[in-house]
Structure 1
């Protein structure tokens, strides 16, 4: 069974985390699965993506075995490069790295069962990406969530501006699809430029966001065909033939 699935609903793409037996905990398969799924979405005719979790929880956060240095890969705008809008559909637990994943999406629908928590203050370590929360909701509320490390309800998250719509229990995906279908009827280039301007030029990037984006770009160079060709050419004592890929 794959940890991440992708399904098309017309011009809306639904990406689902599916580790129900572990309450959708984010392991390395989920990290890489999300990165691949969003790349597939970006290259497709889909106009909007909806990200959700299968079962009762969006995700309880990182599996203890996943390296924190890999989590940037699955974060929208960091490991995932797309100007297309992303909507999250949240039920149950949304904790830790899943909280951050939701934070980087453009819109969020939560059902009445949802709660949001960034508990890293109780863990003794964090990756720094959640600092961007203070650029997305009021500063004092962001600091409350970060410093107290306590869950907040879907209603509280809605009032804070972390959630766009509250849905009845079990209706989060249905409601998110309704919103996504509306966005998908709008002019795609306008939607993409709006997201690009806000994400890249209006929102303040935390140090970890900058590091994640830099790591993404350098990883693309390091794993490129040209990098492999350069190594072969050096070993064979010839001039390299670069292709720009």
Structure 2
């Protein structure tokens, strides 16, 4: 069983049709460790299973949305935590960004459907300078102009929110103390919209976007992982050993 610290690495709350998912490591600038990966992966499943119509992804505290990987406690399977890579998410997800958004934090933000940032937010992807990358960031090449994507991924330079918006990474920039409220207003509009239309439009647009090889691999691994950890798999193995017909339940 996970200890209390691991259980609290990601917080999930629901209010009036909106699920809020918060990375909860403010003292570590919300860096990603194994507990965060597991927590986000589970949070997307929780959101999928709920009646909520929109999710907001954010970080606890004002200093950082997510400052990338905690290299001292990270096994390199970040793809499991990314919406529509590690877990398919048909409902819209909004990133609410305050403070630092670095490395893997940028990947999480860029794979959300919409993104709002505070005026003091800072973005950079320093993996080429650090000597470490999971490679999933390459998917941004189909989500923003290629020259901008190359500049952001290769140079590791810090950029502010207005430049990030001009590059196609953000939808809106607001005052730092208005980020979450702005995301909630956007989420309310989505919650009040026709859910089947929202789902269809999101799905069709994502199907239009080209996926990077690592993104495709992550999606495939996620689908196979669901089978690997399913009750049906356990039932099939048990039935084979007991020489009886299996009773599959699609779970």
Q: Quote how far apart the aligned CAs of 1:232 are.
A: 2.0
Residue 67 (structure 1) aligned to one of 67, 75, 90: 75
Q: 1:26 matched to which residue of 2? A: 32
Q: Quote how far apart the aligned CAs of 1:194 are.
A: 0.7
Instruction: Work out whether 1:111 is the aligned partner of 2:118.
Output: yes
Q: 2:194 matched to which residue of 1? A: 187
Q: 1:9 matched to which residue of 2? A: 15
Please show how residues 55-94 of structure 1 align to structure 2 within 5 Å: 55=61, 56-64=63-71, 65-68=73-76, 70-94=77-101
Please show how residues 196-211 of structure 1 align to structure 2 within 5 Å: 196-199=203-206, 201-211=207-217
Question: CA 1:242–1:8 in 2, change beyond 3 Å: closer, same or farther?
Answer: closer
Question: CA 1:46–1:244 in 2, change beyond 3 Å: closer, same or farther?
Answer: closer
Counterpart-to-counterpart distance in 2, 1:49 and 1:230: 35
Please show how residues 167-182 of structure 1 align to structure 2 within 5 Å: 167-182=174-189
Counterpart-to-counterpart distance in 2, 1:157 and 1:113: 12
Q: Quote how far apart the aligned CAs of 1:149 are.
A: 1.4
Instruction: Work out whether 1:137 is the aligned partner of 2:144.
Output: yes
Instruction: Work out whether 1:160 is the aligned partner of 2:167.
Output: yes
**Long gaps (5+) in structure 1:** none
Per-residue CA distance 1:64-85 (angstroms, 9 max, x = gap): 12111x2111101011212100
Q: Quote how far apart the aligned CAs of 1:166 are.
A: 0.5
Q: Quote how far apart the aligned CAs of 1:9 are.
A: 2.5
Q: Quote how far apart the aligned CAs of 1:164 are.
A: 0.7
Q: Quote how far apart the aligned CAs of 1:162 are.
A: 0.6
User: How well do the aligned residues superpose, as a CA RMSD in angstroms?
Assistant: 1.3
Q: Quote how far apart the aligned CAs of 1:237 are.
A: 3.6
Q: Quote how far apart the aligned CAs of 1:117 are.
A: 1.2
Q: Quote how far apart the aligned CAs of 1:109 are.
A: 0.4
Number of equivalenced pairs:
243
User: Structure 1 length normalisation: TM-score?
Assistant: 0.95
Please show how residues 207-222 of structure 1 align to structure 2 within 5 Å: 207-222=213-228
**Long gaps (5+) in structure 2:** none
Q: Quote how far apart the aligned CAs of 1:174 are.
A: 1.1
Q: 2:47 matched to which residue of 1? A: 41
